[in-house]
Amino acid sequence: MQYNVQLDLNANNRNAPVKLVWTTFYGRLLRILAFSLPSNCPFQDATATPLTHVLALIAPTPPTKHRNRLGMKFYSGDKLQNPKIIDLACIQCVIGQVKDRGMWAVIDRGELGKLLESHKDVLADFGE
C-alpha cells in the first residue's frame, strides 16, 4: 500500500523548529485497529462524545531508490522495516509488488493507469 505521512525535516536537531513535509512511503498492511475512547478520557475534551479511532499497523518497505524507464519504483531486499502505526486515513491506495532480478518493483495502479492511457495509441497497434 502507499501512504503519506508528515515528517519533521529537523527531527535530528532538537533545538530547531518543527518543519513538517508530506512524504510518500510504501508498506504492507498487517492489521487494522479500531477502538473507542470514552467521553471521560483525559486525552480528549471533556464535553466530547465518544470517538472511534481507526489505525493501521504497517510494515514499511525499504526506501525506493531505483526507477526504471517507465518510472516504476524499485527496492531491494526481502525484509520489511519495523512496524509502525499510522492513521488509516493516511493510506492513499493499494499497490502490488513483483520481484524482478533480485529487486522488488512497486506496481502502483494509479501511475500504471496514467502510463497506459498516455500510450494507448501504441498499445492499440499491438492489438491488431
Taking the domains of the chain in order of start, what are their residue ranges?
A: 2-127
pLDDT tens string 19-32:
999 988 888 888 88
Say which residue, 123 or 54, is predicted with more confidence: 54
Beta-strand runs (E) in 20-68:
20-37, 51-60, 66-67
**DSSP letter for each residue of 70-98:** T--EEEE-S-----EEEEGGGEEE-EEEE
Whole-structure pTM value? 0.64
For the stretch 68-105, pLDDT in tens is 666 667 776 667 788 999 988 888 877 777 777 777 77
The pLDDT of residue 18: 93
pLDDT beyond 80 at 59: yes
